[in-house]
Amino acid sequence: MPDTRPPAIFLMGPTAAGKTDLAIALHERLGCELVSVDSAMVYRGLDIGSAKPSSSELARAPHRLIDIRDPADPYSAAEFRDDALREMAAITASGKIPLLVGGTMMYFKSLLEGVANLPAAAPEVRAELEREMARDGLSTLHDELARVDPEAAARIHPNDPQRLMRALEVYRVSGRALTELWNEQRPETFPWRPLSIGLAPANRGVLHERIARRFDAMLGAGFLDEVSALRARGDLTSDLPAMKSVGYRQGWEYLAGDVDHATFRQRGIVATRQLAKRQLTWMRRWPGLHRVDSLGVDPFAELLKLVREFGT
């Protein structure tokens, strides 16, 4: 039977791969409507550190699901799925193709597969996990997860505190493994026919260089002033998901006087490289992914070829 679902394009990749420029180019060439898939860009005021498209870029190619939430109000993968499905339906109804672009791979997964029926966040449990992490280190938490949920421990990098603590939070609240709850989730039929494209430099060393240059460019553009303004609000804390975003966590530590500037810069670059590594791991496991070298001879031509062969 032919697949009669309307088309959608997923353009995913690691940070600093050049996704925004190519997504805007596809919008201008093909008329695709863009939906951001980024857990930091949803927050207002997280602009420089999230590499949010500039006002001129957004004027050329509006991105849905950017600046939709105050950083004091956490945003979940389940909320993203609801919002993205609504925006995609509106785009398709207008006769356009939704182009989802970003690097928050859990958002892509939740969108495609649905969201498990997980227990709500438990602030007391999370606070205890934060204390244990500060006292014993992330490796101890990862060891615990390996005992209670080996599959989740294999998926979650030992240096990914947010996902690691969420998996343990689920176990401590429900007494059941995150993997077990996910396996109970009934598969959902995704209403669109997705073309998944993974955009990344073929050379990992080049990506690391781009990350370092971009972090320094962010500093030059006033990133620390941005973090300082967020801290000055008085209602934000370092344990909020927004403030745990890569770069913002390290900036918060520096402005709190916990580290010197050189250490802050190095930690920010290392954390961004670790994020990119996790994103690339997700991409290696993504079924049916079409990989494009973002620093190849003509990546835009490759994207156009994939889209046109897909039959949009």
CB 223 within 8 A of CB 141: no
For the question of whether the overall pTM of this predicted structure is more than 0.85, the answer is no
Asked whether residue 172 carries a pLDDT value surpassing 80, the answer given is: yes
Class of 123-183 in CATH: mainly alpha
pLDDT in tens, 67-77: 999 999 999 88
Asked whether residue 246 carries a pLDDT value surpassing 90, the answer given is: yes
What is the number of alpha carbons within 13 Å of residue 200 lying toward its C-beta?
A: 26
Q: Which residue has the tokens 């077990």?
A: 180
Most confident of 164-168, 174-178, 213-217: 213-217
Q: How confident is the model at residue 158 (pLDDT cuts 50, 70, 90)?
A: confident
Asked whether residue 193 carries a pLDDT value surpassing 70, the answer given is: yes
Domains 7-115+186-310 and 123-183 share a fold: no
CATH of 7-115+186-310, picked from 3.90.226.10, 3.40.50.300, 3.40.50.2300, 3.30.365.10, is 3.40.50.300
pLDDT in tens, 117-146: 777 778 889 889 999 998 999 899 999 999
CB 255 within 8 A of CB 236: no
Taking residues 224-245, report their average pLDDT.
95
Q: How confident is the model at residue 61 (pLDDT cuts 50, 70, 90)?
A: very high
Residue 187, CA distances (Å) to 21, 138, 199 in order: 34, 32, 27
Q: What residues does each domain of the chain span?
A: 7-115+186-310, 123-183
Picking from 173, 170, 155, 172, the residue whose alpha carbon sits closest to that of residue 106 is: 155
